[in-house]
Amino acid sequence: RKEVEQDPGPFNVPEGATVAFNCTYSNSASQSFFWYRQDCRKEPKLLMSVYSSGNEDGRFTAQLNRASQYISLLIRDSKLSDSATYLCVVRGYGGSQGNLIFGKGTKLSVKP
Amino acid sequence: EAQVTQNPRYLITVTGKKLTVTCSQNMNHEYMSWYRQDPGLGLRQIYYSMNVEVTDKGDVPEGYKVSRKEKRNFPLILESPSPNQTSLYFCASSSAGGRAGELFFGEGSRLTVL
């Protein structure tokens, strides 16, 4: 089983749609979880951290399910500008920044 | 402006010709790292550094060297580049004491080895 797995997509959705991405991780000792966004040919940027209690930032909601070892990202009212690749990132045990593991990303394309 | 700067942004070279990709950050970050990104493989870590003179291998270190003589700089060295090192390279930095997991990436260096 791969350490961090994501559905590569692409997810093609119309503007205004709600879309959800899931990510699974294999190491039950993983400590921290994040979603990064990467635009085509650009560098990844932190979108949001994922907390155990779930967290929301505007149209974006992140959830963590430790028992099932998955993380989700929900985007409501999709905008054209949401088109990007979304990377699930997991920090392994030990707390070191060197243990950040990136998923391969899920591509989202929002159409007019 | 807080940033991570990589140079060159684009490079075409030939097999065996040594090259260095520089990376510099102005945020006084302790942690720096190099990744390569290839289609279908995602981001893979090459080397990372927790602080000056402290470096460690990532997942794909073969064919690469790094050094961390100063806090702000973390160059990636390809002693004898080969075509399988054609890739998009990202340097990243983070504060050890800052929001864990928030990596700041450079704009990327696209390398082609012929």
Tokens coding A22: 């899931």
What pLDDT shows up at residue A101? 86
Tell if the CB–CB gap between B33 and A97 is shorter than 8 Å. Answer: yes
Which chain B residue has the Cα nearest residue A42?
B107
B residues 1-30 closer than 8 Å to A (CB): none
Cα(B6)–Cα(B91) distance, integer angstroms: 7
CB contact, 8 Å: A95 with chain B?
A: yes
Residue A49, φ and ψ in degrees, nearest 5: -80, 160
Cis bond before residue B8 (omega within 30° of 0)? yes
Per-residue pLDDT for A19 more than 80?
Answer: yes
Cα(A36)–Cα(A13) distance, integer angstroms: 20
Which chain B residue has the Cα nearest residue A38?
B105
Mean pLDDT of chain A: 90
Q: Which residue stretches of chain B have pLDDT < 50? A: 98
Mean pLDDT (whole number) for A75-90: 96
Residue A51, φ and ψ in degrees, nearest 5: -105, 155
Per-residue pLDDT for A95 more than 90?
Answer: no
